[in-house]
Amino acid sequence: MFFLINGEGSSGIGELRVQLEARANRLDAIEAATRIVEAEVSCKSVGRGGMPNILGTMQFDASILDGQTLRCGAVGALEHTPHALTVARQVMERLPHVFLVGAGADRFAREIGVAAEPALTDDARAKWEQWVGDSRAELERPDAPLAPWLGTSIDISYKLPEARPKDTVVTLVRDHTGHCASGASTSGWDFKYPGRVGDSPIIGAGHYADSRYGTAACTHTGEMTIRTCAAHSVVMNMKAGMSPKQAVTDVGNELRRLTGGHIGTVVIYAVNAEGEHYVATTGDAASYYFWREGTPEIAHLSALPLELT
């Protein structure tokens, strides 16, 4: 057994270990740990503690994948429900579909008994109000242009340079049966365009698992990992016989070849079926936690700078 969870998931690591040591199913373990992170208001990129979109509305993305069957479920732009991964799992369990978005995802959440609840914290509201300043009335016009408000490196005007893609929580697990699973949950890009969906709910971009080969995930600039199907590519590299380090380095160099669009940091996490792991970043520093059965402590480690080849 093992788990790898990125730094945003620090509040969930204890529960994740408890679940696995109690021989819980891999999907149950991921969901239980993620729910703790989604409820943690100090985590500013996931669930209740996250930041809203340009209009001050919280929208959540999440997905989960079983590496034994490759069954999966995902939700995007889900409102009123910080526990997005729970809804994503129920999409997998109850529907013939894989992905629900927007109003349909919200409706399904109510249908399965997930109550609507306030999702915007006082802290997030205050930061949004400070950000919009005197322009709130202008933003609330139905025909207001929103694109100029995006703080990215694309050729549009800056409103808040620090409003850029940030982290999410990604969890990679192998349980007592020897099978893997992966999951991700996020509130997305701070002050994003309404309806923006990143890589977290997109299977193969934000995370992927195949029990035969291993599991992988990505955080930060989801627009880039969507373009390269990055997590799936890492796992397929391990299928081809690459070590986690080789697999991550290969995909990282593909990311560095991208031009145009929004270019930023990507952190890539990989664990093969034997539990060998490697994590690298193309830019910003990042950390993660790793534990495997028989190890007394949960290791807190730093992502390594991506090597060029």
For the annotated catalytic residues, the residue numbers are: 168
Q: Dump the DSSP string for 68-95.
A: TT--EEEEEEE-S-S-HHHHHHHHHHH-
Q: At what angle do helices 26-39 and 13-21 cross, to 10 degrees?
A: 160
Query: DSSP class of residue 99?
Result: E
CA distances from residue 5 to 90, 293, 299 in whole angstroms, order as listed: 22, 15, 11
Distance CA 154, CA 182 (A): 31
Distance CA 183, CA 7 (A): 14
Query: DSSP class of residue 136?
Result: H
Query: DSSP class of residue 250?
Result: H
